[in-house]
Amino acid sequence: MSGSGTDKTKSGLDLAGPVVILVEPQLGENIGMAARAMGNFALSRLRIVNPRDGWPNIAAQRAAAGADQILEQAQLFDTVEQAVADLTLLFATTARAHDQAKPVVAPAEAAGEIATHAASGGGVGILFGRERYGLQNEEVALANRIITFPVNPGFASLNLAQAVLLIGYEWFKLSTGGALPFAMPEHSERASQHQMQAFFDNLIRELDKVEFLRPPEKRETMLVNLRNIFTRMDPTKQDMHTLHGVVMAIAEGRKGPAKGGVLDGEQATRLRALLAEHGQGAAAPGDNSTVRGLARLLRRNPTDAERILWQALTRDRRFAGQFKRQTPVGRHIPDFVSFVHRIAIELVNAHESEAIVADRAGRRAWLEARDYRVVEMAVADVERDLDGELARLEASLRQAS
């Protein structure tokens, strides 16, 4: 199937449509484009009255874009009277009032009459005039009805193919019940209310951890707005699985650098050394793009020890919701911080450089001067005895309170 939408593997519809009659068309291209419009809406019978450039016409064939059969079966006539002689209901299309006592209808109304008349076995035709000046009075006089279009009165003239297309569309829509050729595929059944609620509970839980739903007096309104966003989507089961994954991925952070894995202690130590050498503690993180990039890399790619400790802090009831990871406190960024308890946690790697040690000491002094308690944890201790380190942290929290 071509990208334009024409599927030659499918058979076209065979409908009892009206005859399209082009009166003295001047350009072959217009005849071809009119035939193409006819093909779009299953109109197959074309009659041509005295074409200016003769017939057959190579320009018409080129412009038809695949509607060759309509052109090949087109009938030629010398006069309009000959072309309409066998028809029992005739419409004339015009953008101008011809001051004739004749019913004037829009394309949709005409389509209804055409369908009714064709169903009873009557012959129906539609006259389309010349490109330059349309139909003459005597030609309009042959018709039973006038079709005109609701267009801008200051610019009412339509291209020949456009006029054919508009009427063809209304007739085809009526004849087929307006059925569309395709619809959105349903690859997954609609999500149940239970699934929606489970997702929403998960979302609220993670939003609460980052204190998104504040101030408290606006919490209920924000929850209603959030729920409406998702219920308006009419999500499927697969949509819910995807959204669950998105929320959890954001909540847990990236799984490591772009190539996968996490930073090991040695890599983290080198990065911290670079940060210390660039004077992270002496300048705001936003002042230097290199510092920002290094700090961002550390935040997005936690070491094994950072990940282990962070998961414990978020899941253990003693600490859940009380700590943030890699969050600025003034111009410093400790590994973990609790604003509620005013406690900062610093992970200490083995064999750290003098620059890192000095940087951490400066950060500690700055935090303690502002009534923060700094708890240092050796990376090796976190990896070997996490429970013991958490118990030590719990004791610090009690002491702080």
Residues 216, 91 within the same domain: no
pLDDT at 283: 43
Nearest-CA neighbor of 174 among 114, 104, 117? 114
Residues 286, 382 within the same domain: yes
Residues 228, 197 within the same domain: yes
Distances (CA, A) of 194 to 198, 237, 238, 241, 351: 6, 11, 14, 13, 52
Residue 228 burial (CB count, 10 A): 10
Residues 151, 229 within the same domain: no
Residues 164, 220 within the same domain: no
Residues 155, 248 within the same domain: no
Which residue among 252, 274, 302 closes a domain?
252
Give Rg (Cα) of the chain. Answer: 38
pLDDT at 73: 92
278 belongs to a structural domain: yes
Both structure tokens of 51:
């074409």
Residues 336, 368 within the same domain: yes
- Mind listing the pLDDT tens digit for each residue in 37-91? 999 998 999 999 999 988 889 999 899 888 889 999 999 999 999 999 999 999 9
Residues 283, 387 within the same domain: yes
State the amino acid at position 19 in one-letter form.
Answer: V
Domain CATH code at residue 240: 1.10.8
User: What is the reported pTM?
Assistant: 0.50
pLDDT at 284: 42
369 belongs to a structural domain: yes
Q: How far apart are CA 53 and CA 67, in angstroms?
A: 20
186 belongs to a structural domain: no
Residues 341, 296 within the same domain: yes
129 belongs to a structural domain: yes
48 belongs to a structural domain: yes
Which residues does 166 contact at the CB level (< 8 Å), separation at least 6? 107, 149, 158
Residues 164, 214 within the same domain: no
Q: How many domains does the chain have?
A: 3
Q: What is the pLDDT along the chain (401 residues), one digit of tens a residue?
A: 344 555 555 556 667 789 999 999 999 999 999 999 999 998 999 999 999 988 889 999 899 888 889 999 999 999 999 999 999 999 999 988 877 889 999 999 999 999 899 888 889 999 999 988 889 999 999 999 999 998 888 888 888 999 999 999 999 998 888 777 776 666 678 888 888 888 888 888 888 888 888 888 899 999 999 999 988 888 888 888 788 778 877 776 654 444 444 555 566 666 666 666 555 444 444 445 555 555 666 666 677 788 889 888 988 888 888 899 888 888 788 889 998 889 999 998 888 778 788 888 988 999 999 999 999 999 889 888 999 999 999 988 888 66
- Mind listing the pLDDT tens digit for each residue in 273-329? 666 655 544 444 444 555 555 566 666 667 778 888 988 898 888 888 889 988 888
Residues 55, 99 within the same domain: yes
Domain CATH code at residue 383: 3.40.960.10
286 belongs to a structural domain: yes
What residue numbers bound the domain in which 210 lies? 193-252
167 belongs to a structural domain: yes
Both structure tokens of 183:
């619809």
339 belongs to a structural domain: yes
Which residue among 124, 144, 176 closes a domain?
176
Residues 217, 318 within the same domain: no
Distances (CA, A) of 319 to 252, 322, 346, 376, 393: 16, 6, 16, 17, 9
Which residue among 228, 252, 276 closes a domain?
252
